[in-house]
Structure 1
């Protein structure tokens, strides 16, 4: 038959012989090795059919006609070969289909990220049943499906135009593509092929770990027969701190000051993320939203042991809501006088009502 001749193997060649023949031809005919692109494409197409037991059986029964009906060619790639074939040997285009990754958020405090902490997590997952080896059948073997003759696919004819019939292929409804019937279901997994399992893992959050950092445990997701196992991923989510916010390796603290403190100075203690207290003081005037920096008082650098970011303190001056006439008079005595501003005779008085920047922004958005 043609495809066997392309690979230079007998029609009863086993899978290992077919694989070796393909590998030998692929290395010689690859266009990067100055081989023949057309012959390379033909070799890949032949192997794509003969490497798959289902497609090979269909080809043995129906010949080239089965290629028109059941062979679904991959989208063209560079040099005209299907990506999964070359990846099968050289690992350039990915591996077998994997089960989905399982992602868990791991909520941690800013203190945990500052000091570091180890979390013990329990992973609940499905693993391949050890009794039936993932077959779902007692004894590890099922009965060949009589509907599809163990092929896992069902063939039927469909009219695609006047007087034109096309042979179609679909998954066998009886065995759902497995090719076997698990008449005698495994007593442990009840034919589901997998059983529940729990496994403990440790997530080591080192000092300075960033928000959004991912801890990946490969091969720890749910198992499924004939599929690679995905990963379990824990993603760091930092809980909101009551005083500090984090900007990379720096910490930001917003500290409120009274008008008196902003004018005459202040001295008070402030609790740090590490649990110690630091003294914040200033004897001169502090403006509203003025920032000060304390070098080396920020978060640890995860990749630079012994190094720390900075702590920025932003002072927010709280003004009194009202002053009595006596207080206003005292301020006029204490504070330097303001120069008189000339007012034109034609100027008219207006009324100013309370407002907010947020209201103005909302009004502009609606207009």
Structure 2
């Protein structure tokens, strides 16, 4: 079979799509060249192999060809010893393997360049710039693409970069979750090869606990057009979660922070603070301790949901500001001095 893509990704042959994604995320981050400056050449080779393996195994058609015919099948030639070139070619005449740039695949998982790496056209110079340069014969067939509108192997146009748009959400939406419907208009190519306007409703399920910067990707939902008689591939449409300011709460990670003002009498003698939560409950919070400068009351599990840990929440932290009286009468001053004598405070 030649190259063992399953072993490269450290998964078994029955691996699900989710298994492949998890393994690719972990290994691509480990072997990205910008994470390995001391052994960049080795990291480049491993990173390309990991991306090559994911490119094949994540596509049902490519995976089926690979499982049946091995690496040779992906090159469109019969496996050694098959003795039947014609029957193999006819049986797979509709299969074409057009691999993507290794960092295009990487960008789909991690958004824009997380390490600030150079443009794709300058990556992997050590082996000639090909995504599959380390696989010998594959390098002449599978070349990495440059940025912009240059053509990929076979004359197909390179997929343009994703189109990002902010999706502003209230803190309540990010606390409780919500369903957002976005109407988009874009150009599509009709049966006659003409670019026409089309509208579509996209549904975004905002999960409880999502944070600012979370990305939701709709593959191929950008506009498509014709250039030089050839259809241009549509870009992916990416919505980036943004958080609206809240009048009461401020988010810090998974915690919620609330500032509450107390009078001097409440700060010294105690009070009950009433808090309306983001899901509509009302909490009666007793404050029995003396509120000193910097005092903070923590309510466990009353913060934001934790996305990857269902049932877990951050904390609600109440910070107090003490409101001092602007003036006191002589009798009030005398009474306070008597009540708050230094010996009583020791």
Aligned equivalent of 2:176, options 115, 138, 145: 115
Q: How many residues align?
A: 210
Instruction: After TM superposition, give the deviation of residue 79 of structure 1 in Å.
Output: 3.5
1:101 maps to what in 2? 162
Structure 1 pair 123–250 and aligned structure 2 pair: CA distance change class (3 A): same
Higher relative contact order (CA 8 A, sep 6+): 1
Instruction: After TM superposition, give the deviation of residue 84 of structure 1 in Å.
Output: 10
| Greater C-alpha radius of gyration | 1
Listed as ranges, the gaps of 5+ residues in structure 2 are 1-71, 77-120, 147-151
2:222 maps to what in 1? 221
Structure 1 pair 326–203 and aligned structure 2 pair: CA distance change class (3 A): same
What secondary structure, in the 3-state scheme, does the structure 1 residue paired with 2:310 have?
strand
What secondary structure, in the 3-state scheme, does the structure 2 residue paired with 1:301 have?
coil
**Which structure dedicates a bigger proportion of its chain to helix?**
2
Structure 1 pair 265–89 and aligned structure 2 pair: CA distance change class (3 A): farther
Instruction: After TM superposition, give the deviation of residue 75 of structure 1 in Å.
Output: 9.9
1:232 maps to what in 2? 237
Task: Give the Cα–Cα distance (whole angstroms) in 2 for the partners of residues 221 and 312 of structure 1.
Answer: 43
TM-score, normalized by length of structure 2?
0.54
Structure 1 pair 75–116 and aligned structure 2 pair: CA distance change class (3 A): closer
Aligned pair 1:292/2:340, yes or no? no
Aligned equivalent of 2:189, options 128, 132, 137: 128
1:50 maps to what in 2? none
Instruction: After TM superposition, give the deviation of residue 323 of structure 1 in Å.
Output: 2.2
Instruction: After TM superposition, give the deviation of residue 280 of structure 1 in Å.
Output: 1.1
Task: Give the Cα–Cα distance (whole angstroms) in 2 for the partners of residues 281 and 309 of structure 1.
Answer: 20
Task: Give the Cα–Cα distance (whole angstroms) in 2 for the partners of residues 230 and 87 of structure 1.
Answer: 26
Instruction: After TM superposition, give the deviation of residue 92 of structure 1 in Å.
Output: 5.9
Instruction: After TM superposition, give the deviation of residue 248 of structure 1 in Å.
Output: 1.4
In the TM superposition, what whole-angstrom CA distance separates every residue of 1:116-146 from its partner, at most 9, and x where no partner exists?
1011111111112432x14xxxxxxxxxxxx
In the TM superposition, what whole-angstrom CA distance separates every residue of 1:23-69 from its partner, at most 9, and x where no partner exists?
79xxxxxxxxxxxxxxxxxxxxxxxxxxxxxxxxxxxxxxxxxxxxx
Instruction: After TM superposition, give the deviation of residue 206 of structure 1 in Å.
Output: 1.0
In the TM superposition, what whole-angstrom CA distance separates every residue of 1:279-307 from its partner, at most 9, and x where no partner exists?
11122311133111111111111111111
Kindly indicate whether the alpha-carbon contact (under 8 Å) linking 1:291 and 1:312 is maintained by their aligned counterparts in 2: yes
Structure 1 pair 308–91 and aligned structure 2 pair: CA distance change class (3 A): farther
In the TM superposition, what whole-angstrom CA distance separates every residue of 1:251-310 from its partner, at most 9, and x where no partner exists?
111111110000000113211111101111122311133111111111111111111111
In the TM superposition, what whole-angstrom CA distance separates every residue of 1:64-93 from its partner, at most 9, and x where no partner exists?
xxxxxxxxx999932446669967844766
Aligned equivalent of 1:325, options 325, 330, 334: 330
Matched ranges for 1:145-164 at <5 A: none
**Which structure dedicates a bigger proportion of its chain to strand?**
1
2:306 maps to what in 1? 301
What secondary structure, in the 3-state scheme, does the structure 2 residue paired with 1:211 have?
coil
CA RMSD of aligned residues (A): 3.1
Aligned pair 1:251/2:312, yes or no? no
Instruction: After TM superposition, give the deviation of residue 104 of structure 1 in Å.
Output: 1.9
